[in-house]
Amino acid sequence: MSKETKNQNANGNGDLPVVSESYDFVNPNHYKKGSKEVWEMMLDIWGVDHFIAHCEMCAFKYRQRLGLKPDQPIERDLNKAKWYEAKADELRNSR
């Protein structure tokens, strides 16, 4: 991959934004809508069983692509997978 390609943003124009060390890649602020996070709205709309399945599939997806994203640490996707696994376990155990 060329240096120019690596530095393009989603629109293909300009450098990628610099992200601070404290940025939360698992639950960023843009996931919050009003008083609820998007996952909480999904739980309300589709119910516990479907949301648990969603969590399991997302964890699987993140684990399958560990180390495959260029210029991104493996820990980023691993932490996302762990979040989904923990959320599925939490919901299973809260019944």
- Asked whether the predicted pLDDT for residue 36 surpasses 60, the reply is yes
Tell me the per-residue pLDDT of 51-86, one tens digit each, with 9 for 90 and over. 999 999 999 999 999 999 999 999 999 999 999 999
SS3 1: coil
The pLDDT value recorded for residue 21 is 67
**In the numeric block, which tokens belong to residue 69?**
């994203």
Whether the CB-CB separation of 52 and 88 falls below 8 Å is answered with yes
Nearest residue to 78 (alpha-carbon basis) of 65, 88, 91, 90: 65
DSSP state string for 5-48: HHT--TTSSSPPPP--TT--SSS-GGGEETTEEHHHHHHHHHHH
Among 26-35, 40-49, 55-64, the minimum mean pLDDT is found in 26-35
The pLDDT value recorded for residue 31 is 63
- Asked whether the predicted pLDDT for residue 91 surpasses 90, the reply is yes
Give the C-alpha separation, 64 to 41, whole Å.
26
Radius of gyration for the alpha carbons in the chain, expressed in angstroms and rounded? 16
Residue of higher predicted confidence among 24 and 91? 91
